[in-house]
Each structure stands twice: as structure tokens, then as C-alpha cells.
Amino acid sequence: MVPTADAVTPPDRDVFVLSRPHGTVRGRGCIGSFTDTAAAAEALRTASVHAVVGAIPFDPVDPAALLVPRSLEHSPSPLDGAPPTSRRITAVADHPAASEHRERVTRAVKHIVDGDVDKVVLARSMDLTVEPAVDVTELLGAFAHGNAEHNAFAVDVGAAGGRDTWLLGASPELLLRKEGRRVTCRPYAGSAPRSADPETDRAAAAALASSAKDRREHAFVVDYLRDRLAPLCDELDVPSAPEVRSTGEIWHLATPIAGTLRDDSVTAFDLALLLSPTPAVCGTPSEAAARLIRKIEGPRGLYAGALGWCDARGDGEWLVTIRCLELSADHHTLRTWAGGGIVAESDPQAELDETTAKLRTVLNALGIERA
């Protein structure tokens, strides 16, 4: 652990906030940090730190942003939040351009048809400059306000270095929650944009529920989680069919998974490292899909990794890092991402549209009406 001086991060400042339907967790102050996930896991296991909060990257070779908070506080309610402040974009850059994203989907489908992978998740990002500047607490509240579950998070990824840079978002996807021996996951994969017209919206949900393409895309994630969790669990309940859930912007297929761990000494953080990245953000088989993503997209950094907390008992909760942005120290410039699972039946334009709908989560929270 690299110790952090109080002068760099004042003891009472929130460096981590996670709002979930069942409550809010805050990490206050920062007494140390880790960029190496193995060192953080060892420190938790040997009780040389009382808690770890923060984010792990998509690719394990990239640095993590893990903090040791001075205190970890739980409250039983999620954040209510408030509507966003209205903002406008003063500069925008797409990575890649829309036409290139469609071409990448076509290339990915060819890799699938050729048998290199069964599924790969391709993402695109947008660099924005916005006016007025972002206030972190206000944006966190806007994320919480924007979805019925009040999911929202803010991680002070620059806390250890005294830089005011943040990872903020509203991921709906539970990688894992661990309480004692009980472990739960709720993977999301398979999507349909929502509509302002109630009838069209209901039809989109019904079509998603019966879409063979989306059910296959989803099954890769469920099978992966079952394979990784089964050896660790006495009991593991994996429903045979997904349910349909919604965020403010998208319908998703989701599966609630619950298990009982055989060995309680496995921490929530160990499980996050074991499970992340799932095929909801990477693909199947994992290593081949990760290689393809690295080749096609380049490094993702913290996007599509996991964020959360783990305490001294080994309990904790980690989300998949999606529907998020990284805010620069000037609080005007930021990067946001959206990805989608590509399978053999994927259509390039539909995949592009899906990422556009997913980007809306961040744009709505920023109070940007037209991109």
C-alpha cells in the first residue's frame, strides 16, 4: 500500500460513494492506495488494511485505482438524487467514428463465423467538453435520480495523487455481492433501446424477451458465471431463463444468481478478480475475446472493469463498470463509453444504435438534451 498524506485527501472527504437500491456505502478520507490488484487482495486477506474501495481495470495489466478509506460508512437508503443541471457540449470527439464502429462489428462477426471467438463485446467512446463545469456531488445525484433503482457511483480515482479526477456512473449490473457465505450476481446482457411511447416501449421489451439472438448473447455470461462460481459453492441457484429489466434508457435481459460459498475466507474482492471481466463486457472464450478487443479498440482503462468495496470481513459489493464517465481534473472534459455484445447474428447498424442508446445514460445525467 502506498500511504496518502491527510493534506492530499482530507479525512472527512468522500473518495467513494456507491448508491444501490438497498443502501449507500461511503469511503471517507484516503489513507493509502494500490494500483496492483494482487497486493490489495493480499492486504485484505492478511487484515493489513480494514477495507478497500475503488475500481479495477478491464485488462489486468493496466493499473487499478484502489483506495484504503479512513472509514467505510453504510446507510440503509439509496441516494434520492435530483434532476441534472442543464449543460451543453462545447467539443466532442468520437472514438471511433460511427462508420468505423459499424465496420468493426462486421469484422467481429467475421471472426465469429471463422471460429476465432463465439462472442465479443465492442465498445466506442466519446470525449466531451461540457459547460458549465461538473460538480461531482451534483452529477452523482443526477445519476441516482435517473434510474428507478437509484444506482449511482463516484470514485475519486485521483485521490492518491491529489488529482481531482473521478469515475462516475450508474451501472445497473451487479458483478457480485457477498455477505458472509452468501454470494449473489445479476449479469446483464441483451438489450433493446426504450421508447417514450408506452406501447412501443412494451413491444420492445416483449421482443427482447423472445429474441433468440439476445438470449444466446446472455447465456454466454450466465454459463461463464456458473463455471467460475460452481467450484466455490455448496449450492448455486441459476434460473434457466433470464428476466427483463430496465434502466431509464434500455431494456436488458438479466439473471439473478445466488450461491452459498464453501469457504468464507474468500473475499468479495477475490471474487471480483475471479469474475471480472465477464462476457457481458469481454466475450467468449475470454482470452481470445480480450485479445481481439485489445487489437480492435486498444486499451480500455477502467471502463468495463469493476468498481466497489470490500471490508475486513471480506463482505462487499462490486458492479461492472459501464454507463460511466471519467472526469478530468478541469471538470469540463470527460470520456464516456458504451459497448455491446456481438454474436454471429449481430447487425452493424443495430449495434451502433444500441451503443447510442446506452450513451444516453451519461448524457442525461449531464443534462445534455441533444448530443
Ligand X SMILES: C=C(O[C@H]1C=CC=C(C(=O)O)[C@@H]1O)C(=O)O
Chain residues in the site for ligand X (CB under 6 A): 121, 123, 173, 188-191, 252, 280-281, 322-323, 337-341, 358
- Give the C-alpha distances (Å, rounded to integers) separating 122 from 108, 348, 350: 8, 11, 13
Is 110 an active-site residue? no
Q: Which is nearer to ligand X, 233 or 293 (CB)?
A: 293
Is 173 an active-site residue? yes
**Shortest Å, Cβ 108 to ligand X:** 12
- Cell representation of residue 2: 502506498
**Shortest Å, Cβ 90 to ligand X:** 25
Q: Which listed residue (42, 103, 119, 179) is catalytic?
A: 119
Q: Which listed residue (73, 103, 149, 173) is catalytic?
A: 173
Q: Which is nearer to ligand X, 144 or 254 (CB)?
A: 254
Q: Which is nearer to ligand X, 134 or 319 (CB)?
A: 319
User: Within 13 Å, how many C-alpha atoms sit on residue 24's CB side?
Assistant: 20
**Shortest Å, Cβ 73 to ligand X:** 29
**Shortest Å, Cβ 49 to ligand X:** 30
**Shortest Å, Cβ 35 to ligand X:** 24
Q: Which is nearer to ligand X, 317 or 354 (CB)?
A: 354
User: Within 13 Å, how many C-alpha atoms sit on residue 90's CB side?
Assistant: 9
| Residue positions annotated with a catalytic role | 119, 173
